[in-house]
Chain A
Amino acid sequence: DAKTTQPPSMDCAEGRAANLPCNHSTISGNEYVYWYRQIHSQGPQYIIHGLKNNETNEMASLIITEDRKSSTLILPHATLRDTAVYYCIVDYGQNFVFGPGTRLSVLP
C-alpha cells in the first residue's frame, strides 16, 4: 500500500507556481521521498527526490518539512505541458509504490 496521501486534483494558472502537497506521516528515517509525473498515455517520468534537505533541479523544487512527515513539490512557473498526474512515493530500496496521485490541470 502507498504510504502517502495527496489531494486528488488541483488547478494552477499558467505561469504561476504550482505547489503540490504530500503527507507521509509514517515515513521512517531512511526512506526517501520521490516525485514522478505521468502525462496521458506515457510512462511515469522522474522529477526529483530527497531525504531530509530541500532539493532543487531544473524541473522542480522539493521542500521536506523538518519532521519529514510531509513535503511539497513546487513547479516554479507552470506551463500547459505540466498538466499531468503527479505521484509522491516513499521508498527505501524495495519497490516504488504508487498511490492515485494528484491530477494537476494548468489553465491558460
Chain B
Amino acid sequence: DTGVSQDPRHKITKRGQNVTFRCDPISEHNRLYWYRQTLGQGPEFLTYFQNEAQLEKSRLLSDRFSAERPKGSFSTLEIQRTEQGDSAMYLCASSSQGGLFRLVNTEAFFGQGTRLTVV
C-alpha cells in the first residue's frame, strides 16, 4: 500500500500520560499535515511541514503538543500530559507542490487516522 499510513490506529491512555503517533506520508510528497477531528466536526488544522521545516502551527497546538519530521520523511506527533479534551481522531495528510509557480498544493491524501481516547 503506497498511501499515507498512521500508527497506531487506536490508542487508549490514562490522563497525564504521554502519547506519540507516527505518520508515514506518500514517499514523493514534501508536505505533511496534522489535523485533529472531534465527533461531528470537520478536521481542524494543527501544523504542517515542508520537508523537515515546520512552517505553520495552529493556536490549537498548545505547549503540550510537539510535532517533528526530522529527515523530511515520516513525522511524529507527541502529546504530553494528556487531558480528556485531547480525545479525538488525529489525521495526517501529505501533498506535493504543483501549479505554475510550484507554490500551490496538489491534492492531499489522508491516512486513516489515530483515534485517541484519554480516560
Contact = CB atoms under 8 A, between A and B. Distances in A.
A49 B107 contact: yes
Contact of A46 (B44, B99, B107): B107
Contacts of A49: 107
B103 A92 contact: yes
Interface in B90-119: 91, 93, 97, 99, 103-105, 107-113
Contacts of A32: 104-105
Given A45-B110, A95-B48, A87 B103 contact: no
B112 A42 contact: yes
A101 B42 CA distance: 7
A100 B42 contact: yes
Contacts of B97: 93
Contacts, number: 55
A95 B104 contact: no
Contacts of A96: 33, 45, 93, 105, 108
A98 B105 contact: no
Interface of A: 2, 30, 32, 34, 42-46, 49, 85, 87, 91-101
A95 B107 contact: no
A97 B45 contact: yes
Q: Binding site of B, secondary structure by majority: helix, strand, loop or mixed?
A: strand
| Size bin of chain B's contact surface | 20 to 34
A43 B107 contact: no
Contacts of B91: 43-44
A100 B44 CA distance: 10
Given A42-B112, A91-B104, A97-B45, 7 more contacts: A44-B43, A87-B42, A91-B105, A92-B104, A95-B45, A96-B108, A98-B35
Given A43-B110, A43-B112, A46-B109, A93 B104 contact: yes
Contacts of B104: 30, 32, 91-93
B110 A98 contact: no
The 9 closest A-B pairs by CB, nearest first: A43-B110, A98-B42, A46-B107, A93-B103, A98-B43, A44-B110, A95-B45, A93-B104, A43-B112
